[in-house]
Structure 1
Amino acid sequence: MIRVLLADDQHLIRQAIATLLDLEPDITVVVQVGRGDLVGPAVAEHAPDVLVLDVEMPGMDGLSVAESMPGQAMLILTSFGRPGYLRRALAAGVRGFVPKDASAEELAAAIRKVHAGGRYLDPEMAASAMMAGESPLTDRERDALALAASGASVTEIASSLHLSEGTVRNYLSNAIAKLGAVNRIGAIRTAQDMGWI
């Protein structure tokens, strides 16, 4: 049996997916969690073979969970097919990326493939990621823009990143220019739409 951990903050969706997966003869959902920060303790307690993670969850998003657990067989199940999410997931070692509108059969096939050491990427999501290209933002520009997206002021961003306010303003200005935006809000929107922050 392939032992699965299922992490999704939407209880009804998580329950439905678990029920469908448990109908498969070789897959069993051994634990369900509704927050990203509960994945680590659940993995330690239940030792699942494959983690199926939603991207957007409270506590810790699915991509951050993936980055914190290198070597673990993981699959992202998401309704957000943003190119940056796919690239970030692959960089973190995630071997599967499946849209939430996939069939139960497709999800089960993806879990089997990831469990066997292979990769399963939704073709449309993979094509979108290839066409979008790499993020033009540096790590610091991305960090500053992500903090700005959370509502942090320049002073708060500077304190959080241990930088001067002038340096933060430069990073934000660079991000705005690189993304072809008119202002910080436009840059945030573009970066979020692409999955770069």
Structure 2
Amino acid sequence: MCTVIRILLALDGGLVRGALAFVLSAQPDIDVVAQVEPTADVWGRAEALQPDVAVVDMAAVGAGRRFPCRTLVLAAPREARALSAALRYQGHTCGFLGHQVAPDRIVAGVRRLAGGEPVADPELVVAALNRSNPLTDREMQVLQIAATGWPAKEIARELCLSPGTVRNYLSRALSKVGARTRIEAVRIARDAGWIWQ
């Protein structure tokens, strides 16, 4: 009798999520225990259900929170730079595949990740290496949280910084990406894949 891999899906788009759930559930060694929108409380669901692997997109990864299980992130090449930040939080328990890969590659990736093997899409690695990110880790972190619409005081409280320090990080980030406003800086950073949605 084989071990069953329990899966949590947190992907944008019900049709895509449902189709992938169908493919995964057809495997004798995989059980999809939940399907959620990436904007839902994915961490809470993962903590409650204790899946072996969460298959998520960048919107579900969030800023600075580690999933309580192995995580397979499906990402677009433009999001490749943001994968390094996700990897810092997830460590060796995280794998990456392009969001356009064939379903059988996702099935294989789930099995490899569940077995403790690394999963990395060569195209995403190349995309990450070919993009030069001018932002420091802290500037990316502040900009990522600013993308949620939080004011500087709230960002400061979240990161244990002073509001003035947060404003300085934001100002430097705007200057480095060539933006006039915080919203424009967030858009540029997202399009370049330096922060995720």
User: TM-score range with shorter-chain normalisation?
Assistant: 0.7 to 0.9
Conservation of the 8 A alpha-carbon contact between 2:46 and 2:67: no
For the 8 Å contact 2:72–2:110, the answer to whether it is kept is yes
Q: Name structure 2 gaps, 5 residues minimum.
A: none
- TM-score, structure 1 length as denominator? 0.77
Give the C-alpha shift of residue 109 in structure 1. 0.7
**Kindly tell me: are residues 67 and 41 of structure 1, through their superposed partners in 2, closer, same or farther at Cα, counting changes over 3 Å?**
closer
Percent identical among aligned pairs is: 33
**8 Å CA contact 1:8, 1:34 repeated in 2:** yes
Residue in structure 2 matched with residue 110 of structure 1 by the alignment: 109
For structure 1, the 5+ residue unaligned runs are none
Per-residue Cα deviation, 1:82-136 (whole angstroms, up to 9, x for no partner): 1222112211225211122111110011111101111111111111112225553
- 1:36 deviates by 4.7
| Alignment deviations for residues 36-78 of structure 1 (CA, whole Å, 9 cap, x no partner) | 543334334433211111222xxxx3244x83325x2111123
Matched, 1:77 2:77: no
Q: Name the TM-score, length of structure 2 as normaliser.
A: 0.77
Which of 45, 49, 54 is the aligned partner of 1:51?
54
Among candidates 67, 87, 91, match of residue 88 of structure 2: 91
SS of residue in 2 equivalent to 1:92? helix
Aligned to 2:41: 38
- Report the CA distance shift for 1:160/1:26 in structure 2 as closer, same or farther (over 3 A): closer
Matched position secondary structure for 2:58: coil
Q: Which residue of 1 aligns with 2:192?
A: 194
Partner of 1:14: 17
Q: CA RMSD in A?
A: 2.7
Offset from partner CA, 1:162-196 (integer Å, 9 cap, x none): 5345x4443333223333x1523553333222333
The total of aligned residue pairs comes to 185
